[in-house]
Structure 1
Amino acid sequence: MPHRNAPLTETGRLRLARCVVDDGWPLRRAAERFQVSHTTAARWATRYRQLGIAGMSDRSSRPHHQPRRTPAEVEDQVLRLRREHRIGPLRLAARCGITPSTAHRILIRHGQPPLAALDRATGEPIRRYERARPGELVHIDVKKLGRIPDGGGHKTLGRAEGRRNKTGTGWAYLHTALDDHTRLAYTEDLPDETAPTCAAFLQRATAWFASLGITVERVLTDNAWAYSKNTWRDTCRDLGISPRRTRPWRPQTNGKVERFHRTLLDEWAYRQPYTSDHERMEAFTDWLHWYNYHRPHTGIAGQTPASRGTNLSEQHT
């Protein structure tokens, strides 16, 4: 594609060349007519004679001879190390004795995807999926979070005083149910992650989704002890839900709720120092509403989770 200040596009080059070759215009007359130099007019006329219309396209500026190009054996070494160790240009450069920019150029030249697009365990491109309708699959997981003692923790008081003030605070167990299609999230702060607690949470989460017009059909959990008990299976059966579990040691399968928990920590739990656990949980209520109804979600093309539900944001009323 010609740059923005180029006097000729491909159509203009073709018109110039046809004036010279087909209509017999002198080169200087054609150059003056199209406001280009004599050499430019000669170049496009020559290419038109040799290649026809196809010659009007831009050519690569890469030289035909590259005596300083990285040797093929070094490129093979870079690609082999990338496949075997899944490391980036900086570490590849250190091992192969080249600059990071050269390593990056080799990866680009051979069509290697960025590490962020690869499964680090297998080296295969990540296969992303999304269920077709709300409620078809709900991801469930628990995130443990240290409770904040009254008066604040180490982020407010400093490390030494924070340790002295921490005694007996315990853990918050944040149970989350996240819909695969809409990314709508329902989260509760509960005292533990036992089977009865998880089963009761599922009942409340199902009722919450039902209040939004979403019927939960399947739930996906990891292989935690609570999700393998009869209490969980019986609750799923009573609710008409099909339980599913991820493969062992493969948290990526439940990646949507894992990513939600990372967002939750970044944008709520660790966003500012809190002076008590009660203060932090009060802020969580507003944050979760903002996440569901107002926050643009990059995983669904900048839409809000509520906009993908059944008229949750009331945009059709």
Structure 2
Amino acid sequence: MRRRLSFFACLGVAVERVMTDNGGCYRSREFNAALAAEGVRHIYTRPYSPWQNGKVERMNRTLALEWQYGRAWDSEAGKASTLPAFIEHYNWGRPHSACGGAAAHAAHRRRKQPFGTQQLVIHAFRKSSISM
């Protein structure tokens, strides 16, 4: 979590709160201590309410359709090695309907607003949610 917070700090974004589901990894003392040490408020979604975390749920669906099952893989290691590039493409190169069909970075340029005035979503995944 500290690496993610540092990444956004380099962009000039102050993370005030993080919303997660109720997975064990997000309820752990270590995760919550890392958030508390940075002054970040932790918000949980209600159990069995995936619509409360819709952006992440949509990202999970896109991962499954376009990356995980979008082609045949020679090996699990080969598939796993392509995940960072896919997430980079998803966040910075792929058109999003929420941005009017533009990539996320283009939508921010068009709005001419600094990153800090926008609400950003950190895509975090439990290892169990992505089979590698």
TM > 0.5 fold call: yes
Gaps (5+ residues) in structure 1? 1-201, 312-317
- The structural deviation recorded for 1:298 is 0.7
Structure 1 position 238 matched with structure 2 position 37: yes
Relative to structure 1, the CA distance from residue 233 to residue 265 in structure 2 (aligned partners, 3 Å threshold; closer, same or farther) is same
- The structural deviation recorded for 1:289 is 2.1
- Specify the SS of the correspondent of 2:72: coil
Structure 1 position 280 matched with structure 2 position 79: yes
Q: Distance in 1 between matches of 2:27 and 2:86?
A: 32
Q: How many residues align?
A: 110
Query: Given the alignment, which residue of 254, 257, 261 partners 2:53?
Result: 254
Structure 1 position 212 matched with structure 2 position 49: no
- Which entry has the higher C-alpha Rg, 1 or 2? 1
Q: Which residue of 1 aligns with 2:27?
A: 228
- The structural deviation recorded for 1:253 is 0.4
Q: Distance in 2 between matches of 1:249 and 1:211?
A: 35
Relative to structure 1, the CA distance from residue 221 to residue 280 in structure 2 (aligned partners, 3 Å threshold; closer, same or farther) is same
Q: Distance in 2 between matches of 1:252 and 1:215?
A: 25
Query: Given the alignment, which residue of 76, 90, 114 partners 1:291?
Result: 90
Q: Which amino acid letter does the alignment assign opposite residue 205 of structure 1?
A: R
Q: Distance in 2 between matches of 1:208 and 1:285?
A: 15
Q: Identity percentage over the alignment?
A: 34
Q: Which residue of 2 aligns with 1:271?
A: 70
Q: State the structure with bigger RCO (CA 8 A, min sep 6), 1 or 2.
A: 2
Q: Distance in 2 between matches of 1:268 and 1:244?
A: 29
Q: Which TM-score applies when normalising by structure 2?
A: 0.72
Q: Which amino acid letter does the alignment assign opposite residue 255 of structure 1?
A: G
Relative to structure 1, the CA distance from residue 284 to residue 237 in structure 2 (aligned partners, 3 Å threshold; closer, same or farther) is same
CA offsets per residue over residues 137-182 of structure 1, 9 Å max, x none? xxxxxxxxxxxxxxxxxxxxxxxxxxxxxxxxxxxxxxxxxxxxxx
Q: Name whichever structure is richer in helix by fraction.
A: 2
Q: Distance in 1 between matches of 2:84 and 2:29?
A: 32
Q: Distance in 2 between matches of 1:281 and 1:287?
A: 10
CA offsets per residue over residues 270-295 of structure 1, 9 Å max, x none? 11111112211232232222222221
Q: Distance in 2 between matches of 1:303 and 1:267?
A: 18
CA offsets per residue over residues 35-90 of structure 1, 9 Å max, x none? xxxxxxxxxxxxxxxxxxxxxxxxxxxxxxxxxxxxxxxxxxxxxxxxxxxxxxxx
Gaps (5+ residues) in structure 2? 116-132
Q: Which amino acid letter does the alignment assign opposite residue 94 of structure 2?
A: R
